[in-house]
Structure 1
Amino acid sequence: ISFVGASVIWKLVYDTRPEGQDQIGVLNAVWVWFGGEPQTWLTVIPWNNFLLMIVLVWIQTGFAMVILSAALRGIPEETIEAAVIDGANPFQIFFKVKVPQIMGTIVVVWTTITIVVLKVFDIVLAMTNGQWETQVLANYMYDKFFRAFDWGVGS
């Protein structure tokens, strides 16, 4: 799913209606059900930044799980059996046998997600347009280049 598509979905989750109306946003529906007043979540600092992070985590979780589960399945059974014979408990088997064998995959997933985090422009633009202290570097560059016509700073 694209970042903009996910942003539209999550913007509906965070949607707010005036007090007294049915809340169609899931977060506000739960909040009102517990007795709170409807909140415009994407304008509440610092919660808005965490709510935007949830969108990115939601998008990237599937990718990371598929790659890491494939790496875990690729571990030879012999090494795990040898660790069990040597008396290792499940915690030790995971952290001292499995993790070192998939460290290359962990580094690749970590690097890929780090690059994605640096390109988070779409989510911020679609959900808050960089308002309410949610601006990231890419949004700042976009504003300077296309809105302020300050091409030097925008570059």
Structure 2
Amino acid sequence: MSAWAAPAFKNNAKATEILADIRRGRGIRDDADDTLRLVALFRDNWDSVQGKTPITIEYLAKADEDATALLLLVDGGSEDIKGSPRDLRRRAYTQWHRAYTELFHVGRYLTRNDPEAHAQFSAISNERTAPTPVTPNTENA
């Protein structure tokens, strides 16, 4: 829907401003929230965009329904009970962070005796290189 919104609303300053705000992002709710805002934008301006894009009223209704359902899953209320969407999201992040940290340390361990490892894998290297000195180019100034 967003691919059709930019050309459809290019001559509408208010809609263009809304599209710019939609592109910024807002975390875990972003996709669902963006979809709801795009649906509202298309509905509010339906007379000017009808037939100019493949978007239909039925498509907007389905997108609205799907985005609302996704928001309910993502939000999960303020309950932190075991198995709630919020609890599952936190657990997934914790598992991802643990796996990332473990791989980081395994990488450091495996490359500890390789003299060229710091050049190949500088992000996990034990050896930190000094920043390259920068000399200003005054020839073209």
User: Larger RCO: Structure 1 or Structure 2 (Cα < 8 Å, ≥ 6 residues apart)?
Assistant: 1
TM class, shorter-chain normalised? under 0.3
TM-score computed with the length of structure 1 as normaliser: 0.23
